[in-house]
Amino acid sequence: EAGVTQSPTHLIKTRGQQATLRCSPISGHTSVYWYQQALGLGLQFLLWYDEGEERNRGNFPPRFSGRQFPNYSSELNVNALELEDSALYLCASSLGGWGWEANNQPQHFGDGTRLSIL
């Protein structure tokens, strides 16, 4: 069974540009999560999508956005890139659902996209 796949592996951008990161979940998983791991910081929750809808959002500015497609893959878009956006961006997937069901199942991670802002 294929795991969570992310592309590209590395992405280099300059300040003010836009970045698009992609994620394909494990087959059968409907929920996709995005996390940021900046240097020296732990994993910070960004966004959660389930069945094409944004379910929850972390404490990040609106220039961080995304979407989930009908095949459950997802994109993370970061507009007006700033130097502090340089980080590892991790995508995870799970079986999805609401409430206790959503909270009580493991998330499985991809290997991430390393975004560097020059």
Partner 1 sequence: DQQVKQNSPSLSVQEGRISILNCDYTNSMFDYFLWYKKYPAEGPTFLISISSIKDKNEDGRFTVFLNKSAKHLSLHIVPSQPGDSAVYFCAASGGGGSQGNLIFGKGTKLSVKP
Going by their DSSP bridges, the two strands 74-78 and 64-68 should be labelled as antiparallel
Instruction: Give every CB contact of residue 88 below 8 A, 6+ residues apart in sequence.
Output: 36, 37, 38, 112, 113, 114, 115
End-to-end CA distance of the chain: 37
From the CB of 50, what's the least distance to partner 1, in Å? 7
Of residues 98-117, those binding partner 1 (CB under 8 A):
99-100, 102-104, 106-112
Residue 5 token pair:
């796949």
From the CB of 16, what's the least distance to partner 1, in Å? 29
From the CB of 110, what's the least distance to partner 1, in Å? 5
Asked if 56 interacts with partner 1 (CB under 8 A), we say yes
Asked if 60 interacts with partner 1 (CB under 8 A), we say no
Instruction: Give every CB contact of residue 101 below 8 A, 6+ residues apart in sequence.
Output: none
Please name every residue paired with 55 in a beta bridge, in sequence order, or none if there are none.
Answer: none
Asked if 71 interacts with partner 1 (CB under 8 A), we say no
The residue ranges that bind partner 1 (CB under 8 A) are: 4, 31, 33, 35, 41-43, 45, 48, 50, 55-56, 58, 90, 92, 99-100, 102-104, 106-112
